[in-house]
Structure 1
Amino acid sequence: MQGLMYRLAELDANSAGLVRVIDYFDALVRHGADTASLLRASAQLADCVAGIEIAEHGRSKKNLRRCDPHGRWSPEPQLTPSIIRDITVDDEVLGTVWIERPGANLPLDEMLVDRMALTAAIILRPRRLLTEAEHTHNLLFPMDELAVLTSCAGLGLDPAASVRVIASTTNDIARLQFSKDSTPGRATGIEVDGEYLNLVTCSFISLAEFSEIAKVMPVRAGISLAAAACEIHTLIGTARFARSQSSPTTPIVNADDLGALNLLAPGTKIDHTRIPDLVRAREFRETKDGTELLETLRMYLRSGTLRAAADCLHLHHSSVAHRLAKLSHHIGFHVDTIENRARATAMIMVLDAM
């Protein structure tokens, strides 16, 4: 039978494949595996011989074991180790692990042996497992890509799942009773420097329902743009920016409703493809009527009124109103209302620069 490692390799070492490898070894730790179980499981996953050598204190001889994919112990090497990693705890090397892959290495081999070494270190020197809150923190404020994938595995969260962040300055948000489907995986609310962050699925509840809750339980919050769980840390700034735009009359602000104004959000530079307004406007600009209608909006924003725009375009003001209504339908928001003027202006300015 073809080994599980080969099936994972078909994923071309993408996020899902990496998370599966991480979760595989995390499961061994959760179930109290010893080094022998680790070795058998590693050989089965890799579909090749796996080995471990442990330095025993007070002895010059080292404890060396090897196992093939069928669970057979084979003490003598048959192939040169293809990838080797030290088992390190607090800068102390406790031994090494390796795999003996015949032929070229597979895309996930490096990750597999890294996790073998880490799991062996945990077995030899048990450490406290991270809590769900700590995994959530590491997902939202990761040190590197590995931390993101480890956190996704620890939370039972698909790294490709679409999620959002809710940012609030009070902990009232944590007391809101979201449905079970609202929380992705085992993520939990966290506090960072007096700010409360909650990870939610994109369909957690409607904004209208959320606003109704806010009337009963006063809270100011911002909802970020949507992103895959493995990338949501790049959009926390949009949740904070949305929260900064909240008011007593609008206590909950969705970053989607700010459009291209999200580019003003502090933090990581936002890819234009993350902003629904810009995606829709750019696609519409390529259609037959798109250029004309966007030009009408541009003239309306510059002139300030329907009649002034109509004079510049040599049209009747009702024709300008009709064009703006048609554009609003395609773009997804009313481009000619006072409250959306800044949003529409930002969209046109960014489109002109693209």
Structure 2
Amino acid sequence: MVKAAVLHHYGEPLAIEELDLAAPRFGEVKVKMKAAGLCHSDWHVVQGQLPLPLPLVLGHEGAGIVEEVGEGVTSVQAGDHVVLNWVPSCGRCPYCRLGRPDLCEAAARLTATGTLPDGTTRFSLGGKPVYQFLTAGAFSERTIVPEQAAIPIRRDVPFELAALISCSVMTGVGAVIHAARVRPGSTVAVIGAGGVGFNIIQGAALAGAKQIIAIDIVEEKLTMTKTFGATHTVNAGDEDAVSAVLDLTDGLGVDYAFEAIGRPETMADAYNMTRKAGMTVIVGIAAPHETVEINAFSLPSQAKTLTGVWLGQGNPPVDYPKLLDLYAAGKLKLEPLISAVYALEQINDGFAALKSGQNIRGLIRFEE
């Protein structure tokens, strides 16, 4: 039996349940969770904006220790420290062969079904299956994941910091480095000072951007962005964000604008504050039914690049260890990202703080 946070009904609090957890099968890994981050993607599911099979163990940003491996597993062994990879790419589909494992078709199917690759889940309650979010199910004392979803890491980084790598850091820094390929001396705007937005900011600083404009409506968060490399801040609750960015860039707009909230109106703002021939990068996740309104004439006449990014366009087996090496070298800030730490039983308090905009990143710490 394992204790886990389970979503039974959309819009309702998560329930702490004692679940049965079967042993890992071929190609699977059992992970004893040590830390898991509270992400807006999880909250979108709670609210029913990303409909998935229920009941569901949420959580996808996490780190822990390998406790057991199934037959055929070769990349990790019991005792290894691992970070979860919520896009366990197959290596065979067209996108994997194109060098885009972040867009793996097999991983996308698992996202939709809430299962492991064989179509089943190891969690159950009263003999009935309990599904797991993004193949991870990180809000559980223990979880079973595909081998590709357990990335071995160095042992000298605390689990609470390593957990952040698997989503907010990879997504934010990767959006800058991999997707936008921000050039030194560039101007950058970042809409949304949350877990991902802060990492976009420090990714832009790592890339050598000369001007990094952080945009949010929470003044305390805007003040903190300076710690991560922001050179200017705009409180969108007090002034129009697009006009403010244009004023700060002599009317041109920024070379790169990133949206890290997931709202259609802020996505349009990001596009409108991007200069001609600049790049707008959408990182935030909106509900599937929502659309963004952009002036059609501007598409050819302003020649902007508009793109999205999933998991920072990363390759977790390669990128997770590199990001932790950057942290160990003092070039990546992780400690300031954690606003609050909760026990698993306090997870609904953590989501309430996430919803209210209080936290950069709330974190679940699992008991020994």
Question: Larger Cα Rg: Structure 1 or Structure 2?
Answer: 1
Structure ranking higher in helix proportion: 1
Larger % of strand: which? 2
| TM-score, L = length of structure 2 | 0.29
Higher relative contact order (CA 8 A, sep 6+): 2
